[in-house]
Chains A and B, each alone.
Chain A
Amino acid sequence: MIGRVVFCWVLLSGFVDAFAQVETGQAFESGFEQLFYFARGDSAWVGYEHRNFRNPAHGMLYLVQTLDASSTNSLQLVPRYHNVPLGTFDVSDRNFVPTLPTSISGNFSAGDVSGYRLHIRFSPDIQARFGNFNNPVQAKVNLLLDTKIFLGYGLALYSGVVLPIANNLDSQSKNVRPGPTQLQYFGRVGEAHFVFISAGTFFYDRYGLDLQYRKFDFTNRLSYGLEAGLTGFYFFPPEGLYTRSMNDLYALVDVEYFFPSLSSSVGLSAGQFLFKDRGLRLDFVRQYGNVDLGLFAVRTKSGTNVGFNIAFSLFPGKILRTKTIEIRTNEDFRWEYGHNNEDVVGRRYRTGVTRLKDFLRPYHSKFIAGQISSEL
């Protein structure tokens, strides 16, 4: 009898040992959300999302630091965006690919959203115009508080409130008003095709429908995509809502090439910008890790403009974090300076969330590997 028990125990312990164990408690406390893991043999796949970091390599590094996966021989990280898994990062060979092994994809593609906290995000919203002789610094400064409520697989409701601080740029009064509010869907079609669709109100007083598509294989230097929107003008005067019809179509196709050794990309977009303004835009973006610096030149039938843009995470990042709520600053604050302040050239609206093209760019396998190789 004793012999049988010992035999069963040996058998069982051998069986348990064969499975990799992953402890995710510390990672959850460190801001990771939607943490799931799946183990087979001594391999483990960990799915996660970290919304405070604009650079996916930081999320990967931080996860490896905060995860206890000591019993695992082969660790694979599956970063998510909008609850959708993007690809697989193999920690040992530092390779990020858009494929999800079929055996695990079901485990990571469920619509469960219970692993998200409610985020309240602060960001300043600044529009400025320099150089007018009588009124040299014209600026509109608002504080935006926004949040995103996840509804399912790739689906979320985004909304916020605008608290005006100062305005001598236009005649809009300083009433507290709803911020951009949208229903957003992010999805994958096949392995390396991504779509982001949003419907609702956007910045620059636009409302309507916005569609973004991108073909981006994380291991290929060339990517291409389409951005299109059908929008109209709206604003919230103190006494209600004013809208004009939704008849302004904007549609741009673009190609972008990534130079891994320079961590830089060059892209060309062509099509119709906002206000039926047709032309070309050339972009150069250098990714530093936490900061992106860009240079652009745009030529349309309305004129020419050159300038630069900068994207970075706002200080301090996390302000408060509990099991259910997180208060933080914007992880991807973007600002663009155009040298031509006379003509409206190649204008687009902002949706309130990072554009698909900008969000996918740092997921290039070489860009991730270049930052992680020396750290792990």
Chain B
Amino acid sequence: MLGCAIRGNAWLAASILCLFCAPAFSQNNLTGKPGLVYSPHPFVTDDSRFVSTVTFTPADHSINYFMLEYLDEVMVSGFLPLNDRLFLNFNLTYLPQLADRVGIGDRHLDLSWLVVKEKGGWLPSLMLTVTAPFGQASFLSQDLVVVGKSFAFGSGSVALSAGYGSPFFFFEGKYIRKKQFGVRYLSGGFAGLTYRPIPAVGLQAEYHGQGTHFSLFYLYEDKVSLKINWLELQSFGFQMTASFPLGFQPREMRRYDR
């Protein structure tokens, strides 16, 4: 009887908590997807904005083994919502140390499907990502599944996420192991935690399959975000994100309204 009462209260508390689920989780990982440092999470806040991300990752933690060495990487990404459940992610890699030899390195295109969207209750969000099995080589390949749940308290929030990334990638017509080419990105299980004491500032911690990363971010009005990544407590990476509306009125109309 007592057990039932406690369980009842826990459900009530959880339900009330989830009523205040914080929508603002528009942080992105190094490939420009909603996520932490390396790992993605399934929280997409606004499906009417295009999000562009630039990330600098130093050579000791860059994800590509490009021409048999790890180099500093600048990843430029675009995250495009096609609707509230279907998203397109596009990357171009720039290698500053080889800028005179290679202007744009690897390119990447993938599609994410938000299969389950968290609402009230305990149901988590679930997202699937598939990389186009296509082109000569997809070194930034991501075929993964990720689940996540967010909780709000006062003006702050906590979000938990976990998932699994396929250890294979598509190379010259067949799937081979990422390890074989030294690709150290999302191979196996990963998990992460995002803590925001207030909506504008947050801390993230993740286990990405091979190690642990931390980050600190600042968000300005859901439009621009700055992030410092502390990579395995050894070196620092930086990220800037800007989001742009897609459903705005023409400039001439806006000016007339004013």
Contact = CB atoms under 8 A, between A and B. Distances in A.
Interface of A: 30-31, 52-53, 58, 61-62, 65-66, 130-131, 133, 136-137, 262-264, 284, 286, 288-291, 293, 295, 304, 306-308, 310, 313, 315-318, 337, 339-342
A262 B83 contact: yes
Contact of A308 (B88, B104, B248): B88
The residue among A288, A295, A342 with the most chain B CB atoms within 10 A of its own CB is A288
B250 A52 contact: yes
A340 B135 contact: yes
Interface in B81-103: 81-83, 88, 90, 92, 102-103
Contacts of B48: 288
26 contacts: A30-B256, A58-B253, A61-B249, A61-B253, A62-B252, A65-B253, A65-B257, A130-B92, A130-B107, A136-B104, A264-B83, A286-B81, A289-B249, A290-B249, A290-B250, A291-B247, A293-B50, A293-B88, A295-B82, A308-B90, A315-B251, A316-B251, A317-B252, A318-B252, A340-B135, A342-B135
A289 B135 CA distance: 32
Contacts of A341: 135
B82 A284 contact: yes
A361 B107 CA distance: 31
A137 B103 contact: yes
Given A62-B256, A131-B104, A308-B90, A339 B248 contact: no
A291 B249 CA distance: 10
Contacts of B257: 65
Contacts of B11: none
A341 B105 CA distance: 14
Interface residues of B, number: 30
Contact of B107 (A131, A315, A318): A131
B80 A308 contact: yes
A339 B132 contact: yes
Per CB-CB distance, the 3 closest pairs between chain A and chain B, nearest first, are A136-B103, A288-B246, A289-B247
Contacts of B111: 295
Nearest to B48: A288
Contact of B253 (A62, A284, A291): A62
A311 to B, nearest CB: 11
A130 B90 CA distance: 13
Given A30-B256, A52-B252, A58-B253, A339 B134 contact: yes
A133 B251 contact: no
B140 interface: no
Nearest to A293: B80
B109 interface: yes
Given A62-B253, A291-B246, A295-B88, 14 more contacts: A30-B256, A58-B253, A130-B104, A136-B104, A262-B83, A284-B82, A286-B82, A304-B134, A308-B80, A317-B250, A317-B252, A339-B107, A340-B134, A342-B136
A337 B248 contact: no
A133 B106 CA distance: 10
Nearest to B136: A342
A341 to B, nearest CB: 8
Nearest to A297: B132
Contacts of B50: 291, 293
Contacts of A284: 82
Contacts of B250: 52-53, 58, 290, 313, 317
Contacts of A313: 250
A264 B84 CA distance: 11
A109 to B, nearest CB: 28
B118 to A, nearest CB: 20
A60 B256 CA distance: 14
B142 to A, nearest CB: 15
Contact of B251 (A66, A289, A317): A317
A111 B126 CA distance: 58
A288 B135 CA distance: 30
A310 B104 CA distance: 21
A136 B102 contact: yes
A263 B257 CA distance: 26
Contacts of A306: 109, 132, 134
B54 to A, nearest CB: 17
B90 A337 contact: yes
Contacts of A31: 252
Contacts of B80: 293, 308, 310
A274 B105 CA distance: 30
